[in-house]
Structure 1
Amino acid sequence: MLPLKQFEDFISEHQLFEKDDRILLAVSGGKDSVLMFHLFKAIGVKFAVAHCNFNLRADEAQRDENFVKLLCASLNIPFYVTHFDTKKYANENKISTQMAARNLRYQWFEEVRLAGNFDYIALAQHQNDAVETVLINLVRGTGIAGLHGILPKRDRLIRPLLFLNRGEIDFLVDENDLDFVEDSSNLSVNYTRNKLRLRVIPQLKEINPNLEHTFAQNINRFAQLEAFLNIQIQNLSEKILIKKNNAYYILIDEILKLNPQKLLMFELLKPFHFTETVIDEIFAALKGQTGKIFLSNTHQAVINRGDLIISEVVSSAARNQFVHSTDDEITFNDFEFKLSYPDQLNFEAVKHKSYLDRDHLIFPLILRNWQQGDKFIPLGMRGFKKLSDYFIDEKLPLHLKNSIPILVNGNGEIIWIVGMRQDNRYKLTKATKKVAIFELKID
C-alpha cells in the first residue's frame, strides 16, 4: 500500500504545489523515481516524465530509457527524453563527469518545463540524499546554506520524497511490487557520494541507527536559522548599505561595529560575489591606506577615506566608442550624448556641455574611460595635469574614476573630462570660426 496520506501531508506542509498545477517528473527508472511516479499517479495530479540518457553506461543506459518509456506508455503519461554526450561536455568545460551530468540535466529540465508550461520539476531525492549532501558540503567546506543541504522546495524544483529514507523506499517498492531498473554505477566507490553511501554512512548508523531522522531534524533547524539570518542581513543592509551614484557605500565605522564581523560582512557582500578570502583582505586593509581595491568576478570594492565603496566592474569591451562627424546621437556605456554644430552660439556655463573649436577636432573622436598616464591641460591653465591628480583634487570617489567618460581627439589629446572639465586647447577663442557642442544628456 502506498503512503498517500503522508505524501499529500508532506506536499501540503511544505506548499510544494497546488492540486491543479502541472508537474514534470525527473524519472531515471530507479526505485526512488519509480515510487515517485506511482505516488503522483495515485493522487491524480497532472504530470509528465522527463528522462535523461547520459550515454555513460552503454546498453544499460538504453535499457533505462526503454523502461521509463514503456512505463509512461502503459499509463498514458507524456514522455520526454534527451541524449547527452556527457564526457565531451565534461572535457570541454574541464569539470567532472558527475558535475557535467548535473549541469546538463538541470538545464534541460528547465527547458522542457518552460516549453511544456509545467509549474514545477519534481526530483526523487529522499532523506539519505539529504544526509549525503550535508556530509559532502561539510567535507568540502560550507556556510549555513550547505548545512541544510537540499530543501523540499527551491524556486521551481520540488523534492516530494524527502519524508522517506532509503530503507522505507526499498520496503514500499517491494511491498507494492513495483518494477524498476538498477543503476550499476550506484555500487561504484569512484564517486564521492557513493563512497559516503557505501562506506561512511553505515559506520555513522552504527552510532545512530536513526541517522536519517536526526539529520532531517537538523536540516530543518539549519533552514530556519538561514531564514532568520537572511532577515537580519536584509535589515542590516537597509541600514548601512547606502546606494548613490550607481554604487553602494558602507561607512567603515559601521563595518567595525559588526559582530560577528566576518559572517555579517560575508552575507552583506554576497550579492556582489566577493569570496571569503577577499573579505579577509578587506578587513586587513580597513585601517590602512585609502585607495585599496578588491575585486570579485562582477564588482570592485574600494576603500575611499571613511567608506567602502562597491561598484560594478565595467566590461573592457564597452570602454571605447568612436564618434564620427556625422553622428548626432551617441551612446557610451550608460551615458547618452548629442553632437551639434550651431550656426549661432548661445553659450551656457553648464557642466554637461562642452563648447569646442570645430577646426581643432580630428574625427573620429573617441569616448573611453580613464587610463593610467592620462593627462590634459585644464581649462584656464597652461600646464599639463595628470587625470589621477585632478580626480584627487576634485575629491572624486575612486570607484567613479573608472566610469567617467573621457572625450579624446583623433590625435590622442584629451578634449573633455565629461561633466567635469574641458581641455584648454579646445576652448573657443576670438579666432574660432566653427563651433561644435558635445552635450551629455541629463534627465
Structure 2
Amino acid sequence: MKKVADFIDRHQLLGPSDKILVGLSGGADSVVLLHMLAEMGYACEAAHVNFRLRDKDSDEDALFCRNFCEEIHIPFYYLEEDTKAYAKQHKLSVEMAAREIRYNWFNTLLETYHLDAVAVAHHKNDQAETILMNLIRGTGITGMRGMLPKNGKIIRPLLCMTRKEVEDYITSNHLPFRTDKSNSDTSFRRNLIRHEILPPIEKLNPAFTNSVDDLSLRFTESAIIVEEYIRNWKEKNMVDPDRIPIEKLFQNPASLTILYGILADFGFNAATIKEIYDAWPYHSGARFYSGAYYVLADRDYLLIEPVKQQEQEVGAREVYPENKLDSNLHFEELSINQLESIPKEAHIACLDLDKLKLPLRIRSWQQGDKFRPLGMKGYKKVSDFLIDNKINLAEKESVKVLLSADDIAWVIGYRIDDRFKTSKNTRFILWVEHTIE
C-alpha cells in the first residue's frame, strides 16, 4: 500500500480531500484499487457498467459489485447498456463502443456529483501489453509512452504494481473478486499478447514488465523534451504556422520528428507524414491529403492548406483504427473462429487483418485506379469493373474505395481485392460493414 501511496504523491494524482469515482468491474484489479484507496482514507464512490456482452455472467458481475460496495459502505452507481446496439448505431467496434459508453458515463457522474477524479485499475502488466500492442500496430513516441498515470481527470494509481502484487494483496486481505472468462479468449488481441506473446518474452527476461515500465517513463519524459524542441524550431524557422521551409527542415537531423510534430496538429497520420518525408526532393505542385487539410509542395515551402469542400471527396482520409469522419463504415476485429462462414453480402467485407497496412483510408475512386477483384489473378481498372457491373453514371460518382497503404482493399459495396481475402492461414478478420442511411 505504501508503494501506491508514494506513487500517488509523486505524480500528484490526488489531494487529501478529493472525492474519487472508482471504475469497478468486479475483477481482482478494480477490487484491489477500491479497497486500497478506501483504506488510505480517500472518499471513494464506485461505478459499474453492465455492457450486456456476457449474458448471465454480466448480471452476476453487477450483483457482486453492488454487494461488495454495500459491505464496505461505498456509494454505488450502476449503468446497463446494450453495447452491440450502441456499436452498430455509432459505427464503432464493440471494444471502442464499450470504452466510449464507460467514459461518457464517468464524465457525467463527475459533473453530477462534483467528484474530482476517475480512478481505473491498470497496472504494470497492462502497461506492457498496451505498449506491445502499439508497437505491433506501429507507433511513435506517444504510443511508446503507453498509459499515463494521470490524463485529465483519469488517474491510474496501480501503474506502479505488477499483476502478481495485485494478486498478493487480494490473498493477504482475503478479498473476493470475479473472474471474467473472456480474458482467456485469445481471439482478442490483448489476450493473445497476454497469454501467448508475453510469457515467452518473460522467460527470456523475467524483469521485462518492469523494463517496459521504465521505458514508458523515459519516453514520457523524452516526449516533453521533443515537444519543447519542436516548439523552439517552429518559433525560429516558421514565420507562419502553415508554411514549412523545406531547406531548413531537411538541414535538421531530426527532420522527420519535426515534420511529425507540425503536421500531427493538422490531423495528418504517421503513414501520410512518412509519405511526405520520403517524397523529398519534391516536385512542385505535389499534394498530400489528410482529412480537412493537404500539404502542397511549393518551390521553397511545404504549404498546409485547408481542403475545399468539393475536394474532400478526392483526398484520402483515415477511417481505421481511428474513425475521423462519418464514412458509414462499421469496423470490428474478429477471430476467424468467431465466424461460421464468410458472408456473401456486397455491403460486408471480411479482410485478413494481418495483410492490411494500418491506418486504412477512404476516398472516391479515381481514373487510373486498379485493383485485383476477388477471384481474379490479374488487375482490372476500377472504371472497367464498374462498367462491367452496369453501374450507372450517378452511382459511379458516389463509389468509394478503402485503401491499405496505396492498395485498394475494397471497392466499397461491390468487391474486395483478392490480395486481402481470407485463407486457411487467416487468424484475424477485419469485418467492415457499409451502412446506407
TM-score range (shorter-chain normalised) is: 0.5 to 0.7
Which residue is 1:71 aligned to?
68
Kindly indicate whether the alpha-carbon contact (under 8 Å) linking 2:26 and 2:178 is maintained by their aligned counterparts in 1.
yes
Tell me how far 1:36 sits from its aligned partner: 0.6
Which residue is 2:57 aligned to?
60
Relative to structure 1, the CA distance from residue 167 to residue 277 in structure 2 (aligned partners, 3 Å threshold; closer, same or farther) is closer
Does the alignment pair 1:307 with 2:304?
Answer: no
1:297 to 273, 283, 291: 291
Tell me how far 1:242 sits from its aligned partner: 2.8
2:123 to 121, 126, 134: 126
User: Matched residues in 2 for 1:130 and 1:191: separation?
Assistant: 17
User: Matched residues in 2 for 1:56 and 1:97: separation?
Assistant: 9
Does the alignment pair 1:266 with 2:260?
Answer: yes
Which residue is 1:98 aligned to?
95
Aligned residues: 312
**What is the DSSP-based 3-state SS (H/G/I as helix, E as strand, rest coil) of the residue aligned with 1:121?**
strand
Which residue is 1:408 aligned to?
none
Structure 2: which 5+ runs fail to align?
A: 312-437
Tell me how far 1:137 sits from its aligned partner: 0.9
Q: Letter of the 1:253 partner, please give it.
A: E
2:47 to 45, 50, 54: 50
User: Matched residues in 2 for 1:206 and 1:100: separation?
Assistant: 35
Structure 1: which 5+ runs fail to align?
A: 318-443
Counterparts of 1:193-204 in structure 2, within 5 Å, are: 193-204=190-201
Relative to structure 1, the CA distance from residue 241 to residue 115 in structure 2 (aligned partners, 3 Å threshold; closer, same or farther) is farther
Which residue is 2:221 aligned to?
224
1:17 to 9, 14, 19: 14
Does the alignment pair 1:140 with 2:140?
Answer: no
Tell me how far 1:44 sits from its aligned partner: 1.3
Which residue is 2:415 aligned to?
none
Relative to structure 1, the CA distance from residue 8 to residue 280 in structure 2 (aligned partners, 3 Å threshold; closer, same or farther) is closer
**What is the DSSP-based 3-state SS (H/G/I as helix, E as strand, rest coil) of the residue aligned with 1:108?**
helix
Kindly indicate whether the alpha-carbon contact (under 8 Å) linking 2:230 and 2:261 is maintained by their aligned counterparts in 1.
yes
Kindly indicate whether the alpha-carbon contact (under 8 Å) linking 2:34 and 2:44 is maintained by their aligned counterparts in 1.
no
Tell me how far 1:186 sits from its aligned partner: 1.2
Which residue is 2:232 aligned to?
235
Does the alignment pair 1:168 with 2:165?
Answer: yes
Which residue is 2:212 aligned to?
215
Kindly indicate whether the alpha-carbon contact (under 8 Å) linking 1:127 and 1:216 is maintained by their aligned counterparts in 2.
yes
1:177 to 157, 174, 177: 174
User: Matched residues in 1 for 2:188 and 2:283: separation?
Assistant: 48
Which residue is 1:80 aligned to?
77
User: Matched residues in 2 for 1:80 and 1:10: separation?
Assistant: 27
Which residue is 1:249 aligned to?
243
Which residue is 1:190 aligned to?
187
Which residue is 1:351 aligned to?
none
Kindly indicate whether the alpha-carbon contact (under 8 Å) linking 1:252 and 1:286 is maintained by their aligned counterparts in 2.
no
**What is the DSSP-based 3-state SS (H/G/I as helix, E as strand, rest coil) of the residue aligned with 1:242?**
coil
User: Matched residues in 2 for 1:193 and 1:42: separation?
Assistant: 31
Kindly indicate whether the alpha-carbon contact (under 8 Å) linking 1:26 and 1:124 is maintained by their aligned counterparts in 2.
yes
Tell me how far 1:287 sits from its aligned partner: 4.5
Q: Letter of the 2:297 partner, please give it.
A: I
Over the aligned positions, Cα root-mean-square deviation in angstroms equals 2.2
In our comparison, the structure showing a higher alpha carbon Rg is 1
Tell me how far 1:286 sits from its aligned partner: 5.3
- 1:8-64 deviations in Å (ceiling 9; x for gaps): 111001111211122111110111000111111111112211111110111111111
User: Matched residues in 1 for 2:178 and 2:297: separation?
Assistant: 59
Tell me how far 1:69 sits from its aligned partner: 1.3
51-60 or 276-285: bigger deviation: 276-285
Does the alignment pair 1:151 with 2:145?
Answer: no
Which residue is 1:279 aligned to?
273
User: Matched residues in 2 for 1:307 and 1:214: separation?
Assistant: 42
Relative to structure 1, the CA distance from residue 252 to residue 127 in structure 2 (aligned partners, 3 Å threshold; closer, same or farther) is same
Same amino acid, percent of matched pairs: 35
TM-score (norm 2): 0.67
